[in-house]
Amino acid sequence: MVSIPEPEWFLTLLNGWTLTRDGRRVKVAHRQQRLIAALALLGERPRTFLSGLLWPDSSEAQAAVGLRVSIWHINHELPGLLHADGITDVSVALSEQLKVDIIDLERDLHAPVSGLHGSYPRWERLRTAELLPGWYEDWILVEQERFRALRTSALDSIAAYQLSQGNAEETKVATAAAISLEPFRESSYRLLIQAHLATGDLVAALRTYRGFSAALRQEYGVGPSRPSPSSSTVPSDPAVVKRPSAVFRSPRLPRRFPPVTP
């Protein structure tokens, strides 16, 4: 008896929702997309949890019906996508054969930072990889914020590693990407200032510090936290620190601080 190979599934959640089977895109209704996305991001979950998550404004009975209908459509239109042993009266799970782009990316982020050395395309992917843009349900907003924080932290780690290796220009690229995600992230600005100082560009370091300080005060009414005495993240030349206006004139800033380019 000839065995039929299992289909190869790949789910894309970054910058849009796409599902492929054996390399071919398949059409999936939005109701089923929501269930598949929830299982991909959260893993196997009880039916009661999923129905409440995906149909929060419905009664318990109506939500349960909505979930059953979605499961039925997935089983009949996408056979093999749900885990055979994970479809019970209690819980639901996706097939272990399904590959998900965000899971692959997060796995890379937990690898040693040194493994990202010199890989600019991956930095750019961290900057641009938005999780399901245009989805505004509460549960996905939580996941979007979690993923944004993970990306920003990873870019900071890459920048710090590049700086420790003497790669100031690469540090600037990574910090610019982090700042584009979190415009008021102090740790990213500190790394950017250190990168400017490492290349001897005191003017750029001071401009960055003063620009960030002004934007922070304009937006939140506070300035950057004071660095420790051993910190080299701010210019130390007494004449420059006392009279920064002698170096440059602070630009007029918009309400939202624009992304910094290296």
Specify whether the CB–CB gap between 93 and 82 falls below 8 A: yes
Query: pLDDT tens digits for 100-137?
Result: 999 988 887 776 665 555 555 567 788 899 999 999 99
Distance CA 114, CA 112 (A): 5
Sequence-distant (6+) residues with CB within 8 A of 35 are 50, 54, 67, 70, 71, 74, 92
The string of pLDDT tens digits covering residues 196-205 is 999 999 999 9
Answer positive or negative: Cα dihedral of 235, 239, 242, 244.
Answer: negative
pLDDT in tens, 210-220: 999 999 999 99
Q: What is the dihedral of CA 212, 213, 216, 220, to 10 degrees?
A: 180
Classify domain 111-246 by CATH number.
1.25.40
CB 192 within 8 A of CB 171: yes
Q: Give the contacts of 16 (CB within 8 A, at least 6 positions apart).
A: 132, 133
Looking at the domain 9-92, which fold is it? Arc Repressor Mutant, subunit A (1.10.10)
Closest by CA position to 159, among listed 197, 190, 199: 190
Q: Give residue 120's identity as a one-letter amino acid code.
A: Y
Q: So where are the chain's domains?
A: 9-92, 111-246
pTM over 0.85: no
Please give the Cα distance from 236 to 231 (Å, whole number): 10
Select from 185, 194, 200 the least CA-distant residue to 257: 185
pLDDT digits (tens, 9 = 90+) for 178-194: 999 999 999 999 999 99
Higher pLDDT, 253 or 51: 51
